[in-house]
């Protein structure tokens, strides 16, 4: 490389390289490797600002361009924009501006497949299938992300002999393993994995090597479901369950949360922040409340959980579940962790309650739709 082509000065000027740092050579090796993918300095700066410079090649390999907007794809396929938005929402991914260039060629193939399927299957059945597919793939993505972060990334980061380049290469090679997925599985899996990595890094920002992550956990169920279901036909019972599941999945997706599991009359979900969890729960109570169905109730807790295999375990999960069990119809009980992080949401004191499986009573608050500030 000719002296005039040496990018070192440009990297220093952009704040990517600190020539006075003891690991300046390691930084330079990493930047040279990233640049070999044709990645620009502007892209590097943006990635560094979010703390993920070393993951940039993997992120671009995960969902390679060129990129199109959802509006452009709707025009290309001759499909209503709202239909594509409904499909994406049903798969559990957060909203995207219809004019943002965020979708790959594989995404277009996926939307075309859904578009073709719409000619054969009813809209409700297709959206239900999308929710099942999206929820299942997100769990796979969570398990894959956790496996990489805990088994590969964390041990390498803890090894003082491992260079920045070696750590970045391992991440990139792990990403390339996703190419073994089938063409149908690939685009949705990549999108879910992208979201999963983002969420995992947010929740592990203060302790990247800790298997415990702090999140909001929520449970919402339908009171009196068992007794009322005995008086419903199989068609009515199925419609009740599917409507409840659809509302739950849509609300969780709208607020960037994740459905952990659906068990007929109950949903367990998680969100990175307490305010999103409150919005999801109150939104579900508002949606189901006016119907002539069992009234929902909920429990929300915030704290450390063990994330493994796409599921969550620990006292925070148990606390949220037990609070939902003792809530009255139309009520959401929250713990101190949610109360202190609820932002514009407010709650009234509900006393100290002894929860099943817990040795000591805990202080709880009652959150209602009327307590939500507009």
Beta strands in the chain (DSSP E): 212-222, 258-262, 266-271, 296-308, 311-313, 332-334, 348-353, 362-367
| Tally of helices (H runs) and strands (E runs) in the chain | 16, 8
User: At a CB cut-off of 8 Å and minimum separation 6, what does 118 contact?
Assistant: 83, 126
What is the pLDDT tens value at each position of the chain, 374 positions in all? 444 478 999 999 999 999 999 989 999 999 999 999 999 999 999 999 988 898 899 888 888 889 999 999 999 999 999 999 999 999 999 999 999 999 999 999 999 999 999 989 999 889 988 998 898 888 888 877 777 777 777 787 777 777 888 888 988 888 877 766 666 677 877 888 888 888 877 776 555 555 678 899 999 998 877 777 777 788 888 788 888 889 999 999 999 999 999 887 899 999 999 999 999 999 999 887 545 567 899 999 999 998 876 788 999 999 999 999 999 998 999 999 999 999 889 899 999 999 999 999 999 999 975 444 43
Residue 358 near residue 321 (C-beta atoms within 8 A): no
Helix (H) or strand (E) holding 149: none
Q: Which two tokens stand for residue 314?
A: 């620990």
What is the rounded CA–CA span in Å between residue 250 and residue 217? 17
Q: What is the distance between the alpha carbons of residues 129 and 110, in angstroms, rounded to a whole number?
A: 14
**Beta-bridge mates of residue 367:** 332
- Output b/e per residue, 70-89; b: 16+ Cβ within 10 A: beebbeebebeeebbebbbb
Domains of the chain: 70-203 (no CATH), 212-371 (3.30.70.1230)
* Cα dihedral sign, 193-198-203-206: positive
Task: Tokens for 73, please give them.
Answer: 């794809």
CB 338 within 8 A of CB 216: yes
pLDDT tens-place string over residues 95-129: 999 999 999 999 999 999 999 999 899 998 899 88
CA nearest to 55, candidates 42, 39, 70: 39
d(CA 186, CA 62): 10
Q: How far apart are CA 99 and CA 95, in angstroms?
A: 12
- Other C-beta atoms within 10 Å of 369: how many? 13
pTM value? 0.64
Cβ proximity of 276 and 302 under 8 Å: no
Tens of pLDDT, residue by residue over 303-335, are 999 887 678 899 999 999 999 999 999 899 999
Structure tokens at 297: 């109730």
């Amino acid at each position: 490389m000719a002296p005039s082509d040496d990018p070192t000065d440009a990297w220093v000027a952009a704040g990517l390289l600190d020539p006075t740092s003891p690991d300046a050579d390691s930084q330079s090796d990493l930047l040279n490797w990233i640049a070999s993918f044709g990645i620009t300095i502007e892209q590097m700066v943006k990635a560094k600002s979010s703390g993920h410079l070393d993951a940039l090649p993997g992120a671009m390999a995960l969902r390679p361009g060129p990129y199109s907007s959802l509006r452009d794809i709707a025009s290309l396929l001759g499909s209503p924009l709202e239909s594509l938005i409904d499909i994406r929402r049903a798969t559990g991914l957060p909203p995207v501006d219809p004019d943002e260039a965020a979708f790959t060629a594989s995404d277009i193939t996926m939307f075309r497949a859904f578009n073709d399927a719409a000619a054969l299957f009813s809209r409700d059945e297709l959206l239900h299938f999308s929710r099942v597919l999206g929820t299942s793939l997100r769990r796979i993505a969570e398990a894959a992300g956790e496996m990489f972060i805990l088994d590969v990334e964390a041990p390498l980061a803890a090894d003082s002999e491992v260079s920045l380049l070696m750590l970045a290469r391992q991440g990139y090679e792990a990403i390339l393993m996703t190419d073994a997925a089938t063409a149908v599985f690939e685009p949705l899996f990549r999108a879910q994995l992208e979201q999963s990595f983002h969420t995992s890094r947010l929740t592990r920002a203060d302790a990247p090597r800790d298997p415990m992550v702090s999140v909001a956990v929520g449970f919402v169920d339908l009171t009196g479901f068992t007794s009322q279901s005995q008086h419903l036909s199989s068609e009515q019972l199925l419609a009740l369950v599917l409507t409840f599941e659809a509302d739950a999945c849509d609300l969780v997706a709208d607020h960037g949360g994740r459905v952990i599991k659906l068990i007929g009359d109950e949903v367990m979900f998680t969100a990175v922040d307490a305010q999103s969890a409150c919005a999801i729960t109150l939104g579900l109570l508002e949606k189901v409340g006016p119907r002539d169905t069992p009234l929902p109730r909920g429990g929300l807790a915030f704290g450390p959980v063990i994330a493994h295999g796409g599921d969550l375990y620990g006292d925070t999960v148990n606390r949220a579940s037990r609070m939902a069990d003792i809530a009255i119809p139309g009520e959401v009980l929250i713990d101190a962790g949610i109360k202190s992080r609820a932002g514009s949401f407010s709650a009234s004191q509900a006393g100290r309650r002894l929860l099943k499986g817990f040795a000591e009573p805990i202080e709880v608050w009652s959150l209602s739709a009327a307590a939500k500030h507009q």
